Amino acid sequence: MQAFTYESRPGRVVFGEGSLKGVAEEVRRLGLERVVVVSGAELRPLADEVAGLIGQTCAGVIAEAVMHTPVAVTEAVLMQVQRLEADGLVAIGGGSSIGLAKAVALRTDLPQIAIPTTYAGSEMTPVIGETKDGAKVTQTTPKVLPEVVIYDANLTLGLAVGISVTSGINAIAHAVEALYARDRNPIIDLMAREGIRALFEALPTIAGNPADRAARAKAQYGAWMCGMCLAGAGMALHHKLCHTLGGSYGLPHAETHTVILPHALAYNAPAVPEAMAALRLATGSDDPALALQELSRKAGGPVRLSDLGLAEADIDGAVERALANPYWNPRPLEAGPLRETLRRAFAGEAPVSP
């Protein structure tokens, strides 16, 4: 067996339908007395509900999270957190809400409770990406890893099918890249295969019946596994392209992951035969890259960057930015094949290895 190092991440996970009701107990377990609830504006009613469950221990609600975690927003929220004399954070929402809480924790070391309402998996990782001056920069530090994560499938029942599918494929991306990461190991491989399998089973069911509680719980479970993969292994071409397109061109986060993943996987496929074999089993398809694209297409999700706001004239600049400070990748990055990869993603063509 290969030699490897596996570093487990601390944290407590509370999983199950109705588990949100225990949020006050989790606050008490951490010994917190003045927590601030963080969310986006669209989730303000849910954030207020969480504040009510916490009771007198809640010092306030800040519903200002936005996509890509801009540093300017974080700095403004940080001033409010300090003014409220908060000693902890409760984030409820998708990657934007959890990302904002992480960004505040990075600067203050405040403990966090994360309550995800999508399937992106950010809540399980010590990774944070922040946007400033048109660029998105990521870093990995235990300071941003939530102390507690509460998974309650009831919170996802109202999640639109489109967002369910794109956030689920966003989670799958973490596991796909973990299968061929430079620091992959057998434990991560197990979680990656299990997470991908669970989401491939759950997402089509959710697309056909959004109220299916069993499918919603399975999707949360898959997102948890995939998030653990990102927590324990590195990123490669897929995440670099998504961070470039999101940070520099303002493309929506989960939708960009959904469009790019099949094409980034196809780019790397010739260099990662073991990962492709695992993905064939996890997806039940002889062509995992195409299966990922079809998963989105059949559920009405995006398959073209052109539909997300990228202009064809932006492709060359995106290639240059991705090559300027690349992440490690199992296949060497070359401008020509990379441009063809983005062109196919722009047009929504089938993923192939250029």
Query: Of the candidates 137, 54, 46, which has an alpha carbon nearest to the alpha carbon of residue 92?
Result: 46
The model's pLDDT over 42-71, given as tens digits with 9 standing for 90+, comes to 999 999 999 999 999 999 999 999 988 999
Question: At residue 5, does pLDDT exceed 90?
Answer: no
Q: How many domains does the chain have?
A: 2
- In this structure, are 144 and 271 located in the same domain? no
Q: Looking at residues 318-337, what average pLDDT do you find?
A: 95
- In this structure, are 112 and 232 located in the same domain? no
Question: At residue 2, does pLDDT exceed 80?
Answer: no
Residue 2 domain-assigned (yes or no): no
Q: Looking at residues 229-250, what average pLDDT do you find?
A: 92
**What is the share, in percent, of the chain residues with pLDDT greater than 90?**
88
Residue 5 domain-assigned (yes or no): no
Give the CATH number of the domain where residue 140 resides: 3.40.50.1970
Look at residue 161 in the predicted model and tell me its pLDDT. Answer: 94
SS3 87: coil
- In this structure, are 130 and 185 located in the same domain? no
For 103-123, b where at least 16 C-beta lie within 10 A, e where not — what string?
bbbbeeebbbbbbbbbbbbbb
The model's pLDDT over 169-195, given as tens digits with 9 standing for 90+, comes to 999 999 999 999 999 999 999 999 999
**What is the share, in percent, of the chain residues with pLDDT greater than 70?**
99
Range of the domain at 226: 161-347
- In this structure, are 308 and 237 located in the same domain? yes
Model confidence at 8, in pLDDT bands (50, 70, 90)?
A: confident
What predicted TM-score, i.e. pTM, was given to this entire model? 0.91
Residue 1 domain-assigned (yes or no): no
- In this structure, are 35 and 89 located in the same domain? yes
The end-to-end CA distance of the chain, in Å, is: 33
d(CA 331, CA 197): 25
Give the CATH number of the domain where residue 231 resides: 1.20.1090.10
Query: Of the candidates 114, 230, 99, 121, which has an alpha carbon nearest to the alpha carbon of residue 168?
Result: 121
Last residue of a domain, one of 141, 156, 171: 156
- In this structure, are 251 and 224 located in the same domain? yes
Residue 352 domain-assigned (yes or no): no
Residue 3 domain-assigned (yes or no): no
